[in-house]
Amino acid sequence: MRVVRTVAELRGVLAPCRRDEALVGLVPTMGAFHGGHLSLIRRARAECAVVVVSLFVNPAQFRSGEDLDGYPRDEARDRALAQAEGADVLFAPDPAEVYPSGFQTAVEVSELGRMLEGDEAGRGPSHLRGVATVVTKLFNMVAPDIAYFGQKDAQQTYVIRRLVQDLDMPVRIAVGPTVREADGLAMSSRNVYLTPAERHRAVALSRALRAGEAVAAAGESDPAEVLAAARAMLDAAGVEPEYLALRSAADLSQIERVDGTALLLVAARIGRTRLIDNTLLGVPEANPASLAAEREEAPA
C-alpha cells in the first residue's frame, strides 16, 4: 500500500490506472478506523481494481467548541488496518494541502444542508457545508468511479448524492449498512470518549430506533406515535435528544403518514460525546442500505 501526502503525488500514482481504465474506488474517512470503515474498504476491494482510502480530519466541518483538536487520531493503526484490508493507496494530506493559504471556496447543498445536522439545534449549516466542500475536493483529487459511505451518517449521504447530481459528477455513491456493536450501539470513532456508564446509556439510541421500528411494523401510520415510542426509550435512559425525527427516505422531507419507506433519525449527547444514529423503516433489517442501493447511479 502506498501512502501519499500531496495531491500531485496522488494524481501521479493514479495516472497509470486512468490509462488502463481501471475502476477506482474511494473510501473517504477521518480515521480512527472501526468496523464500519473496514466494511467499506472490504466492499471497495471486492468491487474495484484500485482502492483509495483518504484519511483527513476535516477542520471545515467542525465549528468552534467542537472536538477538532481532541478528535481521535492514530495514523499508524489506521495505516495497518487499511493495508490489511487490501487498500492500494492511503491518502493522508495535511490541512494546508487541502486548504492552502487563501482558500475561499465552499460547496453548500442549501435545503439538505440546513436541516437536522445542519440546523442550529444540531451542528449548524457550517458542518454539512464543510462535508460537501471536502468531498467535492476529494472527488476532484481522486476522480473515483465509486465512492463508499456509511448509512450511519445518513444525512451526509443525501447531501453528497445531491451535490453529485447537481454538479454532474461522474461518480457513483455506494452506501454500506451501519455496523453495530453486539448490544446495538452504532460503531463510531467518538465511542472511545464514552465512560463505562455513558457507554451503557448510549445504547438507548439504537433501542429508541428499534422501538420506532416495532410500532411502524405493527401497522402504525401516525409519525407522532412512532416518534413517541422512540422517545420513551430515550426518556427511560435519561437521554435528551438534540433531535428525533421521522423523514421521507426519498429526500428527507417531512412526512404526514408512515405509509412507505421512512427514515428515523436521532442525535444526542451522552456526557461530552455527541452520537447520531438512524434506521430505515420498511427496509429489511438485514440490508438497511437496500433503499439507498436502489438509488445508486452508474458513473457517467
**Kind and range of the H or E run holding 149:** strand 146-150
7-11, 70-74, 167-171, 203-207: least confidently modelled range: 70-74
pLDDT at 283: 58
Task: Please tell me whether residues 122 and 203 are part of one structural domain.
Answer: no
pLDDT at 131: 97
Flag whether 99 is in a domain. Answer: yes
Flag whether 138 is in a domain. Answer: yes
Catalytic residue among 34, 37, 127, 200: 37
Provide the phi-psi class of 147: left if phi over 0, else alpha when psi is between -120 and 50, else beta: beta
Give how many domains the chain has, as a whole number: 2
CATH code of residue 171: 3.40.50.620
Q: Which of 30, 11, 28, 46 lies closest to 141, judged by CA?
A: 11
Task: Please tell me whether residues 18 and 160 are part of one structural domain.
Answer: yes
**Do 45 and 24 form a contact (C-beta atoms < 8 A)?**
no
Q: CA-CA distance, 154 to 209, in Å (whole number)? A: 14
Q: What percent of the chain has pLDDT over 70?
A: 94
**Do 254 and 227 form a contact (C-beta atoms < 8 A)?**
no
pLDDT tens digits for 90-114?
A: 999 999 999 999 999 999 999 999 9
DSSP-derived pairing of the beta strands 146-150 and 241-248 = unpaired
Q: Is 200 a catalytic residue?
A: no
CATH code of residue 195: 3.30.1300.10
Flag whether 128 is in a domain. Answer: yes
Q: CA-CA distance, 262 to 242, in Å (whole number)? A: 19
The range of the structural domain enclosing residue 251 comes to 189-281
Task: Please tell me whether residues 116 and 194 are part of one structural domain.
Answer: no
Whether pLDDT at 285 is above 80: no
pLDDT tens digits for 46-70?
A: 999 999 999 999 999 998 778 898 8
Burial of residue 9 (number of CB atoms within 10 Å: 0-12, 13-18, 19+): middle
Nearby residues of 194 by Cβ (< 8 Å), 6 or more positions away: 202, 270, 271, 273
